[in-house]
Every structure is written in C-alpha cells, then in structure tokens.
Amino acid sequence: MTRRNMIFGISIISLCLIGGALTFALRPDQDNLPSLASEMGKPQAVQSLKEAPPATPIESIQQPTAEVLSQRVTEYHIDVSLNEKEGTLTGSETLTWTHPGKKTVNELYFHLYPNAFASADTTFMKESGGKLRGDTMPKDGWGNMELTEIRTSDGISLLHRIQYVQPDDGNVKDKTLVKVRLPVSVRGGESVTLRINFTVKLPKIFARMGSAGDFVMAGQWFPKLSVYEPVGTRGVTTEGWNLHQYHGNSEFYSDFSIYNVKINVPNNYTVAATGFPTKAAVIQGDRKTVQYYADDVHDFAWSASPNFVYAEEPFSSPDVPGVRIKLYLDPTHKDLKERYFYAAKVALSNFSKWYGQYPYSTLSIVVPPIEGNGAGGMEYPTLITAFGAGNESPSNNELERTVIHEIGHQFFYGMIASNEFEEAWLDEGFTSYLEDKLMEQEFGIKPNLPLQVAMISSPISLTQVAWKYGSSDNYAKNVYYRGKLVLLDIERQVGNKTMSRILTTYAHKYRFRHPTTTDFQRIVEQVTGRSWKPYFKQYVYDGKMTDYSIDNITVNSISQGNDPLFESIVDISQIGATAPKIPILFTFKDGHTTRKVWSGEDSKVELKLQYKEPLAWAMIDPDYSLVLENKHINNFLKAEVDGTLRTRSNLGIVKLLEAVLGSFLW
C-alpha cells in the first residue's frame, strides 16, 4: 500500500525554504554551487430463484483453467451474507488444509483479523492509537469476529477446543490469533477439513476493512489459516507454524490457495471481488448472490456498494496474453475511467515485461468514497483499491501513482509472496522502486531522492519485524523509502542492465514461493558474480546509512617566489557505512573547481591540493549520487566561516527540515 504521494505535492515549497536557509548560512558569493536536490517532475439452496436482470455493462463470466501455478496448500469454500442495516457479515466456511510438512500436527491456527478493532486494548489499537496512514477510527467504530461453530467433517464440534494466543506480546486482550486443537493428528501429506460458522461486526473504516455508509470493504474478513512452514521454506530449519498477531504496522502472510466464495448482498449492490464470477448473479426478492472463484492466490477480498459505476475493458500486450480490467468507481470519479484504465494498462504491460507475465484473467480496481478513504491504497490478489474519491481532478501523483503502486504489489506480494510480518521491505520497498521507475517513464515524474533520504533519521534493520519499528512514520521511512533506496544504491553500483537482470531473475525464481532477504542477496551475488555480504550486513541487516563528513579545511601559503601558491588540506572522515567511489568537489576563491574520487574505504583521509588561490569550500557528493547518504549537512564546509554561526546555522536547518517536512513524508 502507499501514502507516499503526499510528499511530492509539498517538495517544491519545502526546497525553496531549505535552499534559502542554506544559501544564507553556508554558500559563498559564487552562484556555482549545486542545488540541494533534484527538481521534482512533476450456498445453501434458496427457493424461487431467477436470473438477475442484465446490468449495463455486464460483468464477464469466466471459468477456471486447468493450469496449476502454486502448491495450493488450502482450499476455501465460503458463503457470506451482508446485513447492510446492521453492518454485519454472517458466514460459513469449509476449509481443507493439506499438511505440507513432515511432523505430526495436532492443532491449527487461524487469523481473526477483525478482532483487532474489538476494543482499545487490542494490540493493533494500542500500537496504532486508532490511526492508520492519516485516517482515524470514527467514534464508536468498533468491530469484531465471533466463531459460532467449528466442526470436523465427521460433525465433531471443536468450539470448546479453541484458545486465543498472543505469541508476540502476551496481550491477553488480543484475540486476532486462535489455536484450534484437533481430535485427530494430521501427518505430513494428509488433509483435514473443518466447517466454520462465523459472524463479523464491520468496523467503521479507517484501517483497510469495514464500512462507510453503504460502502463495504471486506479485507481480511474471514477466519484465515496461518502458514505452516516446512524445512527450507524461507530458510527455516525447524518446521512449524508462522504465528503473529495483527499489529499496528504489520500486514499479512498466507499460503497460496483456492477460493470459491458466494456473496449475498442487496439486489441494488454491485460487488467487486478477487478472481472472477463463474455464473450470473441469482436473485431472490430484493437480494442476490454472486459467486466468485480464484486460485493460486493467498487472500480473497471483496467490496460492495449500491453506488459503484462499473466499467470493464479487455487488455492484452506482448507480455499480457489477456486480462479483463474492471473498474468500480465512486460516482465522483465516473469521468476519470480512462485515466484508471491507462494507469492499469501501463502497469500490467511494463511489470509483466520486467518481472514475468501477469497470470490472472482479471484485475479489479475499487475506488472508495471519500468517507471510506481508510480502505484505499491497498493490495489484494487481482483486486486493488485507490484512495477515496475526494477530488474530482486528482494529480498524477494521487491517481496514477496509487494505481501503479498497488498493481506492482500483484508481483511483489502477490506472486513473490514474502512474509509481510517479518520482512515488509521485500514487498513495499521493491514496489516503491518499480513504481518510481514507471512514473518517470510514463509521466516524467522523478522522485526527490535527496529529500527523501534526508528524512530517514532513525534507520533500522530492514529485516526487523514490522511492529518493532515503533511509529508508523519510522516504519514507512525504513520499509518504503530506505528499502527502495537500497535497491537504487545497488543499481548505482552495478548499472541499469545488471539491476534489471537481478530483479528479473529474482522474480522468476521465486514466483509463487515465499522468498526472504537472504534469497534476494543470493540472486544479487549470482548475477553479479561477487560477494555482497559486507554490503547487506551494513545496509540491510544492520540498518546503517552512508555518512561521510568534511571535518576541517586548513590553508597554508607555500609560495617560494613571486607566484602565489597555497596548499589546502581537507580532512574527511567516514561516520556511517562504507560506500565505494566518494565524489568530492573543491572550489577555490577564484572560482576554479576540481573534482576527486575517494575510495571511501578508510575511516579517515587527508587530501592535499596545491593551487595559486586558497580553497574556498569543499563538498562531498555534490551531485547527490550517494543515494543512502542521509546527512548532507556535514558534506559541505567553507574554509573560512565563523564557528558559532556555522553551528547555529546547521542546527537551524535541521530543525527547519524536521518542522516543514516531518509530518508529510507518510
């Protein structure tokens, strides 16, 4: 998901303020200093059934194919009914799980995500403070999930054999993860089937799922089985369940499965869902049932509203054999369908070309109403949500960027299915990287990298579990921005073509698998033919940033005759992680400049220059090519400047950066 577009709208104004401060405090009279940052670019059977009357346009009906792309560990058959007046879901689920490991299993674990909204005492609410991505929980917006029955295929009730567990924080008031003890053990390769009845009170939308008026977003809405990891999956050496609660920063992790879902809603509602409808809607009185099917996906989401404006177009390209793009627009955006279609088409065609064919036959885009904005900017298999339709004419950075980012997740999260609980950068950082590439290619909008990296004040390991980053702001700056910048830094070192080979190789090898950071590192080493262990240790696992500082400039006259000659000595130190090829610009008092490149390997270096004029100033990385250098404030030093003024000015600029930009990055 993304909220990154907010920074782009204020970058120009912010840079003007920062540039003014820098000019006053640091720059000499010459106007040949580089700018601070780059310019922004811009069912059960029912009686008296009859076929529903055709809608205009009619949503296409499709059937499953025989091709199997994933392991399909779990199979779900779900019937769910929406009570739009009460804001509830009533569902029945038949789940079959095939044991992928070898050890005998005596219990299953289920995620009950709606329970995150049951009270102020849940782990999600305590960590998030009832806020997510700028949206706040509405008053009395609580929701929950209740298991009303669990039975085996033999009819044995297991409801008395459940236990809520809290492996991450021990919070006994958190009921987002439940253990179900089985009456019979399951050996490797065997299958077990459970029949589950459940109800969901939909929360008022602020965090992905819920209702807003008559708009419903059902994301993470059913009892979902946790992932059982055999030895070798994500590098685990002891097989077992991967268990986590629902946290304020965390997203999700599931097995590839088959879903067959029947959804009952009022007859005037339009339904959008993962996969595709397999038959025409069936109505009874003022209600209808639609049936959707999806396979080789690891989640199933749906949305419904009486106000959706529906549009559908077929699309194909050399790397996309055939996809039906479906729009479910809030009426405010009914005249923007061509922009949504275009963004979807360029994303599907380019990402399929770069990272492998999009294998599904549909892609649905849901545009919520503005009051349902908390459901926006999210990815689900074959279904994404744009942000709420609050602006009749959103910019490219709002509409197209969001659509492109979320479609990017169909690859990095959807097919390359990393564990978002534990290594969130593998989907968010990667998707942010490819999003920037496509936005520049199609719309000429370049990311303001120096500004983005300067805001990363608390770098943390990219393999940190999501809830350990602390605030949502720090989570975003590391997982989205720093993750993306690590990829850009690797690209800087190996070149565009080699980086493309790295990502293509990684995407193809781990398609419909669950890769890790270590797997990605192996691909980088395989493609480049050299070890990246020191780099990954510093920037990925240890959470370091590049930081080189000009500490002192000394100028001595060494004239030995009538011709003036000066020796300027520049002391430079390495404070952060190492980086190869550190560019340095030297400017003398007569305006003459020279450049040098330092290897950056030593902790300190003393550089000497001789010239007829004294050195005026020096600057490390004048072109901002070191994308992980986040403390540009110590990259520049004048040979002559009042020490008190320099200290005060530096502190003032840091405070200016924090005050003007701190609340806008995420």
467-470, long-range: CB < 8 A, 24+ apart? 467/127, 467/168, 467/247, 467/248, 467/249, 467/250, 469/249
Instruction: Assess whether pLDDT exceeds 60 at residue 414.
Output: yes
> Are 455 and 569 part of one and the same domain?
no
Last residue of a domain, one of 195, 221, 255: 255
> Are 496 and 579 part of one and the same domain?
no
> Are 566 and 453 part of one and the same domain?
no
d(CA 381, CA 377) in angstroms, rounded, equals 14
User: Looking at the domain assignment, is residue 599 inside a domain?
Assistant: yes
Q: Which tens digit of pLDDT belongs to each residue from 53-64?
A: 444 577 889 999
Mean pLDDT of 267-279: 97
> Are 138 and 193 part of one and the same domain?
yes
> Are 537 and 551 part of one and the same domain?
no
If you count DSSP H runs as helices and E runs as strands, how many of each does the chain have, helices first?
12, 33
Mean pLDDT of 434-457: 96
Domain membership of residue 163 as a residue range: 67-255
- Two tokens, residue 59: 């949503």
Q: Categorize the per-residue pLDDT at 47 as very low, low, confident or very high, splitting at 50, 70 and 90.
A: very low
Angle among Cα 198, 200, 205 to the nearest 5 degrees reads 160
DSSP 208: S
Instruction: Assess whether pLDDT exceeds 50 at residue 359.
Output: yes
pLDDT of residue 642: 60
- Two tokens, residue 480: 């989205």
DSSP 513: B
Strand order in the sheet with 270-273: 210-212, 215-218, 302-305, 270-273
User: Looking at the domain assignment, is residue 375 inside a domain?
Assistant: no
- Two tokens, residue 495: 């070149």
> Are 11 and 122 part of one and the same domain?
no
Q: Which residues pair with 79 in a beta bridge?
A: 92, 262
> Are 604 and 554 part of one and the same domain?
yes
Q: Residues of the chain with pLDDT > 90: what percent?
A: 84
Q: Categorize the per-residue pLDDT at 364 as very low, low, confident or very high, splitting at 50, 70 and 90.
A: very high
User: Looking at the domain assignment, is residue 595 inside a domain?
Assistant: yes
Instruction: Assess whether pLDDT exceeds 80 at residue 646.
Output: no
Last residue of a domain, one of 230, 255, 280: 255
Torsion sign, CA atoms 306, 309, 314, 318:
negative
Least confident of 40-44, 135-139, 291-295: 40-44
Q: Give the residue ranges of DSSP H helices in 511-568.
A: 517-528, 533-535
Mean pLDDT of 436-463: 96
- Sort 192 into a burial class: Cβ within 10 Å, 0-12 / 13-18 / 19+: middle
Q: Which tens digit of pLDDT belongs to each residue from 369-402?
A: 999 999 999 999 999 999 999 999 999 999 999 9
Instruction: Assess whether pLDDT exceeds 70 at residue 84.
Output: yes
> Over 95-162, what HEC string results?
EEEECCCCCCEEEEEEECHHHHHCCCCCHHHHHHCCEECCEECCCCCCCEEEEEEEEECCCCECHHHE
pLDDT of residue 1: 61
Mean pLDDT of 11-38: 41
> Over 362-388, what HEC string results?
EEEEECCCHHHHHHCCEEECCEEECCC
pLDDT of residue 56: 53
Q: Residue 633 CB: number of other CB atoms within 10 A?
A: 16
Closest CA to 234 of 103, 419, 109: 419
d(CA 644, CA 654) in angstroms, rounded, equals 16
pLDDT of residue 58: 76
Torsion sign, CA atoms 219, 415, 340, 425:
positive
> Are 134 and 73 part of one and the same domain?
yes
DSSP 259: E
Alpha-carbon torsion, ordered 138, 217, 483, 517, to 10 deg: 130
Q: Which residues contact 638 (CB under 8 A, 6 or more apart)?
A: 26, 28, 553, 616, 617, 646
Closest CA to 389 of 371, 405, 404, 401: 371
Q: Identify residue 238 by its one-letter amino acid code.
A: T
Q: Categorize the per-residue pLDDT at 66 as very low, low, confident or very high, splitting at 50, 70 and 90.
A: confident
Mean pLDDT of 649-658: 45
User: Looking at the domain assignment, is residue 477 inside a domain?
Assistant: yes
d(CA 346, CA 404) in angstroms, rounded, equals 8
Q: Identify residue 317 by its one-letter amino acid code.
A: S
Q: 472: domain CATH number?
A: 1.10.390.10
Q: Which residues pair with 513 in a beta bridge?
A: 416
User: Looking at the domain assignment, is residue 75 inside a domain?
Assistant: yes
User: Looking at the domain assignment, is residue 293 inside a domain?
Assistant: no
pLDDT of residue 202: 98
d(CA 215, CA 369) in angstroms, rounded, equals 8
pLDDT of residue 44: 35
Instruction: Assess whether pLDDT exceeds 70 at residue 479.
Output: yes
Instruction: Report strand pairing: 302-305 vs 309-317.
Output: unpaired
Structural domains of the chain, count: 3
> Are 182 and 247 part of one and the same domain?
yes
Q: Categorize the per-residue pLDDT at 665 as very low, low, confident or very high, splitting at 50, 70 and 90.
A: very low
> Are 501 and 561 part of one and the same domain?
no
Mean pLDDT of 67-90: 97
Q: Are 308 and 272 in contact (CB under 8 A)?
A: yes
Q: Are 602 and 574 in contact (CB under 8 A)?
A: yes
Mean pLDDT of 19-26: 42
User: Looking at the domain assignment, is residue 276 inside a domain?
Assistant: no
> Are 479 and 578 part of one and the same domain?
no
The SS3 assignment for 86 reads coil
User: Looking at the domain assignment, is residue 280 inside a domain?
Assistant: no
Q: Categorize the per-residue pLDDT at 284 as very low, low, confident or very high, splitting at 50, 70 and 90.
A: very high
Last residue of a domain, one of 492, 521, 541: 541
Q: Residues of the chain with pLDDT > 70: what percent?
A: 88
Mean pLDDT of 349-356: 98
Instruction: Assess whether pLDDT exceeds 60 at residue 3.
Output: no
Q: 604: domain CATH number?
A: 2.60.40
Most confident of 1-5, 61-65, 633-637: 633-637
Task: Identify the residue with better confidence: 444 or 20.
Answer: 444
Q: Categorize the per-residue pLDDT at 561 as very low, low, confident or very high, splitting at 50, 70 and 90.
A: confident
pLDDT of residue 643: 52
Alpha-carbon torsion, ordered 244, 200, 179, 512, to 10 deg: -50
> Are 505 and 465 part of one and the same domain?
yes
Mean pLDDT of 564-585: 95
Mean pLDDT of 318-344: 97
Mean pLDDT, the chain, integer: 90
Task: Identify the residue with better confidence: 21 or 148.
Answer: 148
Instruction: Assess whether pLDDT exceeds 90 at residue 254.
Output: yes
Q: Residue 453 CB: number of other CB atoms within 10 A?
A: 27
